[in-house]
């Protein structure tokens, strides 16, 4: 293919795709309570022009399209199997009547990131890894225009991690192939199958969004979903900007002593710096299991490091002595310099508290007509238990329990938990 904007498929392929989609549309009709003509939207999706963007000057057309489209559906393809930094290979954008395939390695994308920040609605499906790359490459603050159809579908189905293929099948009766997901997206030219896969990832996303939006608004749930999408975007931003010396918290265990926490922090900080400087995945340096083994076994020699841990032998030869020094230094720290231990989770054979809390969650979820597992996540509930058991200020509530959930949590759920506070504290190992 040339380096100029071209349709990605040849005429024969286009004709085949048209026949496939026309056949799909002829055999089903997707209804909409507000009169949205989903079939017409799907026909528009099939007719959308497709343009490759390989040269910097072509990006101007994309930026102009984003400035007037109102909403854009997008996805990315990348490889991160053997590197610390993901290698962005492709950005797919659907502005409604036009699909752009951006050859990311050939382009400077700073203007694109800003343009995507400025659109009214940025539609993704399961945007976690995509937004991680966005934040890494863009330097932009947390996005406030995210609509994640996976999050939205959890409100309608209770399924928290529905894949895109199933979403299209369930909501639009459209069936797409996902076999190319793990292929080499940095190869050029892409195969016809890869191009079709990349296009399909955004071709039907606007129609999926409108179908879901219609259902959510009919049930009065759209604002809740929108708030949760922005919360997720903010959480992903925070996760992308964790300092090296705080990385250990993702591997910490409440059963670790303060000394073990010090060892864990030292190793995790070292691992993060080394992985970044050598541009290799953290697990290539040392896997989590081996980190935990070092924390619990506290090896004093290369022999103990080899026999008491599953650390890869090549990395053992390269970094074994360095790791032993890190462990010794961490163990020599005075207790006052140890990191704080994690608070224990609530565990109790007495189910009175759990039953009362679940009943309150179920009742409110029923009143809102949303699944209980969407209203309250396990992580949020654990954090709420900590706030109450340790008499923390209400401002310490997790972000997920602020916003639209806040009044219900404060006025209904917390009083329920307070009635069982003794059980809660005992279940968390607190003497009362």
389, 320: one domain:
no
91, 193: one domain:
yes
Cα separation, 84 vs 281, whole angstroms = 4
Structural domain ending residue among the three candidates 225, 240, 255 = 240
The domain that contains 331 carries what CATH number?
1.10.150.80
The domain that contains 204 carries what CATH number?
3.30.420.10
284, 408: one domain:
no
How many CA within 13 A on the CB side of residue 85?
A: 12
Q: How many domains does the chain have?
A: 3
Residue 3 inside a domain? The answer is no
Residue 215 inside a domain? The answer is yes
Residue 6 inside a domain? The answer is no
At 35 the pLDDT is 56
CA-based nearest residue to 14, from 46, 55, 56: 46
75, 107: one domain:
yes
Name the region of 173 (left: φ>0; alpha: ψ -120 to 50; beta: rest).
Answer: left
Cα separation, 255 vs 93, whole angstroms = 47
Residue 39 inside a domain? The answer is yes
320, 372: one domain:
no
Three-state DSSP at 96 gives coil
271, 308: one domain:
yes
pLDDT in tens, the chain (432 residues): 333 333 333 333 333 343 333 333 333 334 455 557 778 888 888 889 999 999 999 999 999 999 999 999 999 999 988 999 999 999 999 999 899 999 999 999 999 999 999 999 999 999 999 999 999 999 999 999 999 999 999 999 999 999 999 999 999 999 998 777 778 999 999 999 999 999 999 999 999 999 999 999 999 999 999 999 999 999 999 999 999 999 999 999 999 999 999 999 999 999 999 999 999 999 999 999 999 999 999 999 999 999 999 999 999 999 999 999 999 999 999 999 999 999 999 998 888 999 999 999 999 999 999 999 999 999 999 999 999 999 999 999 999 999 999 999 999 999 999 999 999 999 999 887
CB atoms within 10 A of CB 345: 13
313, 419: one domain:
no
CB burial of residue 46 (10 Å; 0-12, 13-18, 19+): middle
Please give the residue range of the domain that contains residue 327. Answer: 244-337
Residue 324 inside a domain? The answer is yes
The domain that contains 401 carries what CATH number?
1.10.150
Structural domain ending residue among the three candidates 337, 370, 396 = 337
25, 142: one domain:
yes
219, 276: one domain:
no
Contact 320, 302 (CB under 8 A): yes
234, 300: one domain:
no
CA-based nearest residue to 421, from 394, 396, 386, 383: 386
Whole-model pTM: value is 0.88
At 37 the pLDDT is 78
Residue 176 inside a domain? The answer is yes
């Amino acid at each position: 293919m040339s380096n100029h904007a071209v349709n990605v498929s040849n005429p024969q392929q286009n004709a085949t795709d048209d026949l496939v989609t026309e056949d799909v549309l002829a055999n089903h009709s997707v209804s909409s309570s507000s009169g949205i003509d989903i079939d017409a939207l799907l026909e528009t999706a099939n007719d959308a022009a497709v343009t490759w963007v390989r040269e910097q000057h072509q990006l101007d057309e994309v930026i102009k399209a984003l400035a007037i489209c109102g909403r854009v559906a997008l996805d990315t393809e990348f490889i991160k199997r053997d590197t610390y930094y993901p290698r962005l290979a492709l950005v797919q954008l659907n502005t409604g009547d036009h699909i752009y395939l951006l050859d990311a390695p050939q382009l400077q994308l700073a203007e694109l990131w800003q343009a995507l920040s400025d659109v009214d609605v940025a539609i993704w499906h399961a945007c976690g890894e995509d937004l991680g790359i966005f934040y890494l490459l863009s330097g932009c603050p947390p996005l406030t225009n995210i609509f994640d159809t996976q999050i939205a579908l959890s409100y309608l189905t209770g399924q928290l991690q529905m894949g895109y293929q199933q979403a299209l099948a369930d909501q639009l009766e459209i069936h797409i192939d996902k076999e190319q997901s793990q292929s080499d997206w940095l190869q050029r030219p892409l195969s016809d199958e890869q191009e079709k896969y990349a296009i399909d990832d955004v071709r039907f996303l606007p129609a999926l969004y409108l179908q879901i939006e219609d259902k959510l608004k009919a049930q009065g749930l759209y604002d809740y979903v929108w708030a949760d999408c922005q919360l997720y975007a903010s959480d992903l931003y925070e996760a992308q900007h964790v300092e090296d010396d705080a990385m250990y918290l993702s591997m910490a265990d409440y059963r670790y002593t303060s000394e073990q926490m010090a060892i864990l922090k030292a190793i995790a900080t070292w691992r993060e710096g080394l992985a970044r400087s050598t541009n290799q995945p953290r697990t290539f340096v040392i896997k989590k299991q081996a980190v935990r083994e070092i924390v619990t076994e506290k090896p004093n020699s290369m022999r103990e490091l080899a026999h008491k841990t599953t650390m890869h032998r090549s990395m053992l030869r390269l970094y074994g002595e360095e790791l032993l020094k890190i462990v010794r230094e961490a163990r020599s720290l005075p207790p006052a310099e140890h990191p704080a231990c994690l608070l224990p989770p609530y565990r109790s054979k007495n189910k009175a508290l759990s039953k009362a809390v679940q009943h309150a969650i179920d009742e409110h979820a029923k009143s809102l007509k949303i699944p209980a597992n969407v209203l309250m996540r396990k992580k949020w509930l654990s954090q709420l238990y900590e706030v109450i058991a340790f008499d923390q200020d209400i401002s310490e509530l997790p972000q997920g329990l602020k916003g639209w959930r806040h009044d219900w949590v404060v006025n209904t759920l917390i009083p329920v938990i307070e009635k069982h506070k003794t059980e809660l504290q005992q279940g968390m190992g607190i003497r009362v």
